[in-house]
Amino acid sequence: MLPSGDYGTLYLTATWPDRDARSNPRYAWVDPLHYIYVDIGAARVEVNDANCERGDCVISAIERFSRQLRDPEAPEWKRINALRLVAHFVGDMHQPLINRRLKQAGVRLAGLLNLVFSRAELPFD
């Protein structure tokens, strides 16, 4: 599915949102999709307008672009962009797990990842 060239591997294609999209004003809509606001003491996360305004957060983005990736009717370019974004956002969500000072946040984020993957029907089954 991935075109040959600069982004011909999953590893490289996952860097596209930071390397190219963020520096291109056409992709300004991608910026808020990198995050979700979560109270560090929260036992669970519910996506709502307080932490994911208009569905513009990483959890909703993973769900939305996973649907696009699975859609056989979607144009190939749209599915490639969806793959780039899903791979990138899954990577973004794990980042606090590698920071020792955020160990507690990492444990909570691991639970958040379980929530995402139990809610989203990812195309990798």
Q: What is the pLDDT of residues 51-66, one digit of tens each?
A: 788 888 888 898 999 9
Reported pTM: 0.70
The Cα 3–Cα 109 span in angstroms is 32
Class of domain 10-119: mainly alpha
Look at residues 52, 72, 73 and name the one whose alpha carbon lies nearest to residue 116.
52
pLDDT per residue as tens digits for the range 9-51: 777 888 888 888 878 899 888 888 887 777 766 677 778 888 7
